[in-house]
Amino acid sequence: MRRRLGPGFWIAACWILLVLAGALLADLLPIARYDETLAGPPRSGPSADHPFGTDGLGRDVFSRVVHGSRVSLGVGIGAVLLGLAIGGPLGILAGYRRRATDAIIMAFNDVALAFPSLVFALAVVAFAGASLRNVLIVLGVLGVPAWTRLIRGATLSFADREFVLAARVLGVRDSRILWREIMPNVAVPAASYAFIGMAVVVVAEGSLAFLGLSVQAPTPTWGGLINEGRTLMDDAPHVVLAPSLVMFLTVLSFNLVGDRLRALTDVRHSGLEPVRQAPPAAPAAPVHAVGDSLLQVEDLRTHFVTERGLVKAVDGVSFTLERGRTLAIVGESGSGKSMLIRSILGLLPGSGVDRSGNVYLDGDDLTRRTPEEMRHILGPRLGTVFQDPMTALNPVRTIGAQLAEPLRVHLGMNRKQAREEAARLLAQVGIPDPGRMLGRYPHQLSGGMRQRVTIAMALSCGPDVLFADEPTTALDVTIQDQVLRLLHRLREERHMAVVLVSHDLAVVREWADEVIVMYAGKVVERGPTAEIFGRTRMPYTEALLQAAPRLTDPAHHRLRVIPGRPPDLVDLPSGCAFQPRCAHARDRCVTEAPELLEDGHLYACWYPTGSPISEGAESRGR
Amino acid sequence: MAGSGNAHLRPRDQVLLQVEDLVVEFPAGRGRTVRAVSGVSFDLARGETLGIVGESGCGKSSTARALVQLPPPRGGSVRLDDVELTTLRGEALRRTRRRLQMIFQDPISSLNPRRRVRDIVSEGTRVWGAGGDRVDEVLEAVGLDPATAAVRRPHEFSGGQCQRISIARALVLEPEVVICDEPVSALDVSVQAQILGLLEDLKERYRLTLVFIAHDLAVVKNVSDRILVMYLGKMCELAASTELIERPAHPYTRALLASIPGSGLDLPPADRLIKGEPPSPVDPPSGCRFRTRCPRAASRCAEEEPEIRPLTGGHWVACHFPETA
């Protein structure tokens, strides 16, 4: 927690505490009285006795600034608490009750927000009298609409979560749900906004005081001090500068603290994000022969330097792929399957990543290409389709505009040609009435149609290899079937190669020619689909196959359970990464990591299944 | 297909939970209405697991929430033993609702990130002031260490473990019916097998009656005694698990099964059994709601909604032209 807040937060917090302590203890501090005239020579600059110098009447400016902070902080904190005390409950009520309650509260709120607030404040203070209480109340009440809106928004976003639903099913009363489930979650954004609100109020109070509409002399306020010092700017600028600087630092600190607190509400870090630029790997001389395959990947490694340690997301992957073939990469989450294709495509986060190995497209090494050169390869030669078609499409541009863009950029078509080609592509991916579809926006389409559009975009420049990362995971099964059929048909028609990333072994078995099974960043089994599924050698692949329910199994059939869970990538087990979960593991598996062995296909296991040595031998039995 | 009717319900004294003509609707803006569930009926005998399967938008999750009256359905009845839930309000509803519990799909959003795991699990016992001694037992039953749970918060657990926490929370009040809404859809295959096995164990140990909702037919078959297939807010077919998979009679069930890669079933390719995309539940088709995608649809399907009717013992179908063996 401390590390994530950063040093800026702590410096700012210390400053606020310092000012606060000064305000509280002003009378006890060994400093001159704020109203004592001729405490020093008038208009003298900073000195040991008067660190901020003296003003026109010889009063100690430091003492006046310290005493002035009472008004500024008092109003700042008081007004924010007042706003929260009124706006908070209203916001929670509106967000949790919704319907009529929400409509009424928010209607009043919108009217209140439309009020010109500073004019209102000036008017009220001018009429009711400029006292600390009046200023505090006016600024507090003016903050209520913003508080209501903020708290309502935060409440709404949590009131829909399943844990609130679960609490209601348990029979928890609304008051307790608000108190135990919603409030702790709303508290962080509220605290963040409170600090930012204090900054706003301190500035507002300063402005009022400058205009003489805050607490009246002789009580010093920061805004009042600046106003007084205005006339002395020429020969005693410190009288203006000292309170200005203190006010500036205080407002800055409130904003900083609020800002850092807000960062806390963001997605929690896993500790696996890259933290720094890794040293570039020395380009090692390739020791492998470059064949004439369409795509050849040699010993590809992608490592991240993270807060928790080195993550070997992809660790020594090699394969070749020919035109007209589909290669499937399977594995569970965290196995590195998606990172592998990002690594091949060079689509990696900018810092903290260390990629080595080679990727050859028709014998041309892509790892030696600059990002600018890669831009001309992605699209025309390598197409990509991702899992979530909604995030892959720009929500505010029409389908037609998005489809035409790569055609115009990469293929140099004019507007009319690009539009015709876009319509042709949409027809090719099975979208009815393509002409009309061009004018639509992504949100007007179903999930299946959106995925067809992203496929059409990936195909627009006629790529040689199509990379599809979980293309059907977000889709219904009947639509999944349609999309997989479409990919297969397009592969045939265009004589492309397809790299299909999937967690679903059944999909892979049905649609792939070759399979790579990944576990903890490494290839653990690789070969033709029929071989992998017909003569499974790696115990992990076998366990995965038996863990998935099948329609032909009887009801209430006990599935094979793989004990434990996928390994922590920064703390891999010694030897074979699967060894702690493997029923066949023996001593050698702990001490020595298996290389890929060849026997019909490749597998990384010392005691493969289906061989006499593992079936006859005694396993460690976990 | 995709029809209504109550002929398939069993006598009331034989069942624990009975749902009749359930209707769930909510506003879609501009004065339109989403017809999420339109006349669905089913029942569960004590100790039975009913699987509800269908694609997105079929109304299965809306059905689950209507069972616990969150929100109460627009129409129909939900009867637990002798208690009609839909007419209960306030305190009486709060007392009865706890006999039903729910498990949700998203293991992360199911748990309050700011509370400790043990507090999450024991919330029910605190509210009802009883069963505090049950918390450790339930935690152990789902395979979690009570000592760890006392100090940790949900983000320190993996997705599978979070789902175990949700299950423990649901079981702590000794519910009679547990409604599982896609409980394993967000999990990896190896973890999914663990959770499915755990649900079977717990069902036995605590004599639970389960409503198991999922889009994956293979998963549903694995845990269910009977399966109800839904499409666009209507019932299609209801049968014992094996019967439904081996002799699907409804054209939609057949299409769903044929779409599953490597199903190993003797069915024509899926693209011959279903076409196009599901229509909007805001403006569902007349008659049978599946007819717009059905290769067998005839004019009768547009005019007349099929009632659910028996095919063989315990096998029910709502279709004018079902596949008969």
3-state per-residue secondary structure call for chain B: CCEECCCCCCCHHHCCEEEEEEEEEEEEECCEEEEEEEEEEEEECCCCEEEEECCCCCCHHHHHHHHCCCCCCCEEEEEECCEECCCCCHHHHHHHHCCEEEECCCCCCCCCCCCCHHHHHHHHHHHHCCCCCHHHHHHHHCCCCHHHHHHCCHHHCCHHHHHHHHHHHHHCCCCCEEEEECCCCCCCHHHHHHHHHHHHHHHHHHCCEEEEEECCHHHHHHHCCEEEEEECCEEEEEEEHHHHHHCCCCHHHHHHHHHCCCCCCCCCCHHHCCCCCCCCCCCCCCCCCCHHHCCCCCHHHHHCCCECEEEECCEEECCCCCCCC
Q: What residues of chain B lie within 8 A of the CB of A487, using their CB? A: none
Residue finishing a domain among A222, A241, A264: A264
pLDDT tens by residue, chain B, 325 residues: 467 788 888 888 899 999 999 999 988 878 889 999 999 999 999 999 999 999 888 999 999 999 999 889 999 999 999 899 999 988 899 989 889 999 998 888 899 988 999 999 999 998 888 777 889 989 998 988 888 888 889 988 888 899 999 999 999 988 999 999 999 988 888 889 999 999 999 999 999 999 999 999 999 999 999 999 999 999 999 999 999 999 999 999 999 999 998 888 888 888 889 988 888 888 899 999 999 999 999 999 999 999 999 998 899 999 999 988 6
Report which listed range, A34-38, A371-375, B23-27, B185-189, is most confident: B23-27
What is the structure's pLDDT at B44?
95
What part of A 180-239 touches B (C-beta under 8 Å)? Answer: 180-181, 184-185
Q: Using the structure block, give the residue that is written with the tokens 């319907």.
A: A99
Nearest CB among A173, A503, A507 relative to B261 is that of A507
The domain that holds A76 is classified in CATH as 1.10.3720.10
Q: Are residues A325 and A392 both part of a single domain?
A: yes
Domain end, chosen from A533, A556, A582, is at A533
The answer to whether the CB of A94 falls within 8 A of the CB of A50 is no
Contacts A169 to B, Cβ<8 Å: 68, 70, 97-98, 100-102
Contact B107, B185 (CB under 8 A): no
Q: Tell whether B17 is covered by a domain.
A: yes
**Domain-embedded: residue A619:** no
**What is the side-by-side strand order in the sheet with B209-214?**
B100-103, B177-181, B209-214, B49-53, B226-231, B234-240, B315-317, B309-312
The pLDDT of residue B78 is 95
**Cα dist. B267→B133, B255, B272 in Å?**
52, 9, 10
Q: Tell whether A260 and A299 lie within a shared domain.
A: no
**Residue A327 neighbours by CB under 8 Å, 6+ apart:** A319, A321, A497, A498, A499, A500, A512, A513, A514, A515, A516
In-domain check, residue B285: yes
Query: Is residue A115 within 8 angstroms of chain B, CB to CB?
Result: no
Instruction: Please state, as a whole number, how many other Cβ atoms lie within 10 Å of the Cβ of residue A189.
Output: 18
Q: What is the pLDDT of residue A1?
A: 42
A305 and A421 belong to one structural domain: yes
Higher local confidence (pLDDT), A63 or A274: A63
| d(CA A58, nearest CA chain B) in Å | 55
Chain centre to alpha carbon of residue A43: 54
Q: A282 touching B, CB under 8 A?
A: no
Residue B254 belongs to some domain of the structure: yes
Per-window interface: B 281-310 vs A, CB < 8 A: none
Q: What is the CATH number of the domain that holds B35?
A: 3.40.50.300
The stretch A289-317 carries a mean pLDDT of: 87
Query: Do the domain assignments include residue A603?
Result: no
Residue A45 lies in a domain: no
By residue range, what is the domain housing residue B34? 12-99+209-317
Q: Where are the beta strands (DSSP E) in A483-570?
A: 497-502, 514-519, 522-528
Grade residue A281 by pLDDT with cuts at 50, 70 and 90: low
Q: What is the CATH number of the domain that holds A498?
A: 3.40.50.300
Q: Domain check: are A244 and A301 in the same one?
A: no
Nearest to A550 among B111, B218, B224 (CB): B218
pLDDT band for position A54 (50/70/90)? confident
Q: Please indicate, yes or no, if residue B166 is contained in any of the structural domains.
A: no
Nearest to A477 among B100, B189, B215 (CB): B215
Q: pLDDT of A420-479, one tens digit each? A: 999 988 988 888 888 888 998 988 888 888 888 998 898 888 899 999 998 888 788 888
Confidence (pLDDT) at A616: 38
Residues within 8 A of B (CB atoms), A 351-370 only: none
Own/partner contacts of A236-241, CB < 8 Å, gap of 24 or more, are A236/A43, A236/A45, A236/A53, A236/A55, A236/A56, A238/A45, A238/A46, A238/A52, A238/A53, A238/A61, A239/A43, A239/A53, A239/A55, A239/A56, A239/A61
Residue of A nearest to B57 (CA): A476
Sequence letter at residue B262: G
Query: Is A551 domain-assigned?
Result: no
Amino acid symbol at B86: T
Residues A438 and A501 in one domain: yes
Q: Judged by CB atoms within 8 Å, which residues 294-353 of A form the interface with B?
A: 332-333
Residues B36, B52: Cα–Cα separation, whole Å = 15
Q: Is A55 on the interface with B (CB under 8 A)?
A: no
**Number of domain units in chain B:** 1
Least confident segment among A76-85, A149-158, A556-565, B204-213: A556-565
Q: How confident is the model at residue A267 (pLDDT cuts 50, 70, 90)?
A: very low
pTM comes to 0.84
The whole-angstrom distance between A507's CA and the closest CA on chain B is: 6
Q: Do A372 and A459 share a domain, yes or no?
A: yes
Residue % of chain A over a pLDDT of 70? 93
Write out residues 178-237 of B within 8 Å (CB-CB) of A. 188-194, 196-197, 200, 215-219, 221-225
β-pairing, B234-240 with B209-214?
unpaired
Convert the pLDDT of each residue in A487-505 to its tens digit.
Answer: 999 899 989 999 999 988 8
Q: Which residue of A has its CA nearest to B265?
A: A552
Which residue in chain B has the smallest CA separation from A511? B261
Which residues on A lie below 8 Å from B239 (Cβ)? none
Residue of B nearest to A540 (CA): B190
Does residue A273 surpass a pLDDT of 60?
no
Contact B223 A556 (CB under 8 A): yes
Please check whether residue B20 lies inside any domain of the structure: yes
Confidence bin at A350 (pLDDT 50/70/90): low
pLDDT at A285: 56
**A303 and A237 together in one domain:** no
A222-226, A234-238, A338-342, A529-533: least confidently modelled range: A234-238
Task: Decide which of A582 and A617 is more confident.
Answer: A582
- Residue B164 to residue B108: CA distance in whole angstroms: 12
Q: What is the mean pLDDT of residues A220-230?
A: 85
Q: Which domain holds residue A241?
A: 71-264
Is residue A389 domain-shared with residue A522, that is, in the same domain? yes
Shared domain for A516 and A476, answered yes or no, is yes
Nearest to A481 among B106, B115, B259 (CB): B259
Is residue B110 in a domain? no
In chain B, which residues have their Cβ closer than 8 Å to the Cβ of A507?
261
**One domain, residues A409 and A498:** yes
Q: How many domains does chain A contain in total?
A: 2
Most confident of A158-167, A611-620, B22-31, B289-298: B289-298
Who wins on pLDDT, A264 or A78?
A: A78
Is residue A143 a part of any domain in this protein?
Answer: yes
| A607 within some domain | no
Interface-testing mutation among A180, A476, A478, A552, with chain B (most B C-beta atoms within 10 A):
A478
